[in-house]
Amino acid sequence: MSFSTRFTHAITRAPSASITRGLRAVDTSTPDLALMQAHHAAYIATLRETGATVVELPPLDAYPDSVFVEDTALCLPQGAVVLRPGAPSRLGEAAEMAPHLLALYAQVVQITQPDSFIEGGDILVTDREILVGRSARTNAAGIAELTRLTAPWGHSVREVHTPPGVLHFKTDCSLLDADTILSTRRLSASGCFTGYRIIDVAQGEDAAANTIRFNDLILMPAGFPGTRDAIIAAGFTVREIGNSECAKLDGGMSCLSLRFTPS
Ligand code: CIR
């Protein structure tokens, strides 16, 4: 059983009205809350379609980016790690998530060092290793602390680099099965996925790289037909989810959930 693709649970958080103040690298336009809520509902329904239990948390107005729950924690089969987001406006989101993990997991540990910063969007878990991209949000101290916390659970962490100007490592890649990674060319060209089968996103579709494999389905953002067809041609079952509003805030499929099987 592949622990990096099979899950019994997910946690999501409803977008708050404050989402209009969410962080973004480039201001294209204000996200439409109603449309984001509709996309979010479709996302949750698709997770449930696989038979998983989805815990839906209420909106947190004090944290405009809190719909992007992935950045608050790393969920592994042996336990959960509460992270320390590198965006100052998001640091408090981790403490908001901790009690929900404690309710489901026997073991919950935390990144605690004041100089450690690490966000879930920079962490790609495969069955063989945990890849962590250093980025503007994730630093060496955060990666070192994660390495120390997860070693007793039998995990090895490998540091990789996020392409310049890209928010998170996983903005540019995702796991399709235990051995297959979907990636932008700018990331796969770095050689960090040597030993894996790589499917490159279609030309001009870098924004399609952030998908999730959740049980039997690949959830991917709608509007990227070249990449969708490549994933289908490789034998996967795809569900396209509207992502136009989250994309305005540099968010995608992985950001919207924590996915796990609690121990
Ligand atoms: C941020 O800048 O933190 C949010 N606007 C987007 C976070 C996306 N999260 C993710 O890729 N895991």
164 inside domain: yes
Helix-strand-coil percent breakdown of the chain, rounded to 5?
30, 25, 45
Q: Dump pLDDT digits (tens) for 97-127.
A: 999 999 999 999 999 999 999 999 999 999 9
17 inside domain: yes
pTM > 0.85: yes or no: yes
Calculate how far, in angstroms, residue 90's C-alpha sits from the geometric centre of ligand 1: 10
pLDDT at 122: 98
Q: Which amino acid appears at position 118 of this protein?
A: I
Range of the domain at 100: 9-260
4 inside domain: no
Kindly state if the Cβ of 83 falls inside 6 Å of ligand 1.
Answer: no
Q: Is 255 a catalytic residue?
A: yes
Indicate the helix (H) or strand (E) that contains 42: helix 33-49
151 inside domain: yes
Sheet order of strands, 217-221 included: 212-214, 217-221, 237-241
Helix (H, G, I), strand (E, B) or coil at 44: helix
Q: Pocket of ligand 1, candidates 71, 132, 248, 258: which has the most ligand atoms within 8 Å of its Cβ, to mutate? A: 71
Q: Dump pLDDT digits (tens) for 135-178.
A: 999 999 999 999 999 999 999 999 999 999 999 999 999 999 99
Structurally, how many domains does the chain consist of?
Answer: 1
Calculate how far, in angstroms, residue 254's C-alpha sits from the geometric centre of ligand 1: 10
pLDDT at 221: 98
For residue 233, the domain's CATH number is 3.75.10.10
52 inside domain: yes
The ligand 1 atom nearest the CA atom of 85: 3
Nearest CA to ligand 1 atom 7: 251
Mean pLDDT of the chain: 97
Q: Pocket of ligand 1, candidates 68, 124, 256: which has the most ligand atoms within 8 Å of its Cβ, to mutate? A: 68
222 inside domain: yes
3 inside domain: no
Q: Is 40 a catalytic residue?
A: no
- Which one from 9, 168, 173, 192 is the annotated catalytic residue? 168
Quick check: 263 pLDDT over 90?
no
Q: How many CB atoms lie within 10 A of CB 34?
A: 9
Q: How many CB atoms lie within 10 A of CB 254?
A: 27
1 — pLDDT class (breaks 50, 70, 90): confident
C-alpha dist (Å) from residue 250 to 8, 17, 68, 156 = 27, 17, 10, 28
84 inside domain: yes
